[in-house]
A and B are shown apart, each in its own frame.
Chain A
Amino acid sequence: MLTNETYCHKMEKQLDQQLFTALKNGSETAFTAVYEDNRALFLNFGRKYGLADEVLLDVYQDAYIAFYENIKNGKLVVLNSKIATYLISIGKFKIMEQLRKNKKNIHHDGLLSIAHETDDEIENFDIVQEDLSKEQKVMQLYFDALGEKCQDILKMFYYKNYTIKQIVKEGGYNSENVAKATKSRCLKSLKDAIKNAPKL
């Protein structure tokens, strides 16, 4: 027989799993729910580092986006820990990033131990947020102006890391060759648009 505690634990795990699956499938409701559910927990966790709530919320949003991205790009396939654990782990990394930026408190004992490592569960995650180069900024401007069809296929390939097979299925293309040709054509129109761009 299950004790009450293990029963609760099991329910929690099940709920987490459901939310995770919903997030993976792009559910807006889950996106909102998971954000709201872990917000207070994260703020409580982050306050120890002496950051203002305003900053912490910004960090929480970045951590949440990173978590979501790693689900979307296929790096997080199976949920091995609680969602909250992932968010805290990424958040911890982001807080360190923030503190390094502030160049504050970096010799604080508690911080040193975690300043240069990430928790195991996010070891393979893509969480570093780099500043864009000038070329990349221009590229983003012109990417945002591309037609929807082109944006979609490029997003599937470069962002969601779909295989060509998946792109054929998701994008409703007739064959792999058609999908590849579309991708090449979209890359070319982007390249041409940038080439013909007025110099900024």
Chain B
Amino acid sequence: MIDKDELLIHYFQGTLSEKDKVVFDELIAKDPEFKAQFTFEKNLQVAIKNSERNKLKQKLKTLEEVIEHKTQTQKPSNKSWFTPMRIAASVAILIAASWFFYTNNVANNPEQLFANNYEMYPNTVYAITRGNSAENTLEQKAFTAYEANDLPTATRLFQELQEKSGLDYIDFYLAQTYLAQGEILKSVALFEKILEEKTDFKTEALWYAALGNIKTGQETKAILQLEALVLDGSYKKKEAENLLKKLK
């Protein structure tokens, strides 16, 4: 008796012998059930390929944003930007962009989900008061830059702090600065590292890791993280539930 399953396995692995090939072709011609199974698996192969391709494409698009951002911040600022023509042009682009978003009804696309839910986490650990400005520690400088939204400086100082201090919340704020500057992959990696550590910002890190993963098309990971957040229930439970509804 011929094992049809084995024949299909050999077909997909490209290991059909000449003899098997003859049997295989005959079955395709004469056995509708076999042919249907073959077509099913062949279609699945195309579908998986496309699914993987979409994920990679999403990843590269995010990467492209990061590259774009980098080249933009490297350019010196140009004050003549604010000429009326330029403003008019930007408004036109803005209108075109919103029209594009509207007509494509992409309210649930990753970009949009991210944009609707993302907000940089506020400084909740270091009190910057005018009184103790004489102190001027590295930590103070870092959080001052963070609050002033001077992200490149904040990143640099947090990186320095990360090396020098044992403070367990530095990773979290460093990851915040990455995320805010569009360095999504880097930030997600760091947020996920925080999940394995004992810190006060674990649930918060879960939320931001999930957002980052949504943006980079890692939906499965994001769903798992959001589910963990709902289970925990102490932070952003409602938002996580809402996002889960849209993702599933």
Contacts and interface: CB of A to CB of B under 8 A. Distances in A.
Interface stretch (B40-48, B130-138, B232-240): B40-48
Given A32-B185, A161-B13, A135 B64 contact: no
A120 interface: no
Given A36-B67, A159-B52, A187-B41, A61 B47 contact: no
A137 B50 CA distance: 9
A61 B57 contact: yes
Given A136-B46, A184-B5, A69 B60 contact: no
Say which size band chain B's interface belongs to.
20 to 34
B86 interface: no
Contacts of A68: 56
A65 B56 contact: yes
Contacts, number: 79
B13 A39 contact: no
A128 to B, nearest CB: 11
A150 B109 CA distance: 25
A161 B41 CA distance: 13
Interface in A132-188: 132-133, 135-137, 139-140, 143-144, 148, 154-155, 157-159, 161, 163-164, 180, 184, 187
B74 to A, nearest CB: 14
B49 interface: yes
B238 to A, nearest CB: 24
A159 B67 contact: no
A143 B44 contact: yes
Say which size band chain A's interface belongs to.
35 or more
Interface in B39-88: 40-41, 43-53, 56-57, 59-61, 63-64, 67
Contacts of B90: none
Interface in B120-173: none
Interface in B1-37: 5, 9, 12-14
B108 interface: no
Nearest to B66: A32
A65 B53 contact: yes
Contact of B45 (A61, A158, A191): A158
Given A64-B60, A139-B43, A154-B44, A164 B9 contact: yes
B220 interface: yes
A159 B64 contact: no
A69 B53 contact: yes
Contact of A28 (B47, B52, B185, B220): B185
Nearest to A157: B12
A193 interface: no
Contact of A136 (B12, B43, B57, B63): B43
B53 A35 contact: no
Given A28-B185, A65-B57, A180 B5 contact: yes
Contacts of A109: none
B53 A158 contact: no
A163 B15 CA distance: 10
A99 interface: no
B41 A61 contact: no
A130 interface: yes
Nearest to A137: B47
A57 interface: yes
A119 B14 CA distance: 24
Given A158-B44, A184-B5, 14 more contacts: A31-B59, A32-B185, A36-B63, A68-B56, A132-B46, A136-B43, A139-B43, A143-B44, A143-B47, A154-B44, A154-B48, A161-B14, A164-B9, A190-B44
10 contacts: A28-B185, A36-B67, A64-B60, A68-B56, A69-B49, A132-B50, A159-B52, A161-B14, A163-B13, A187-B41
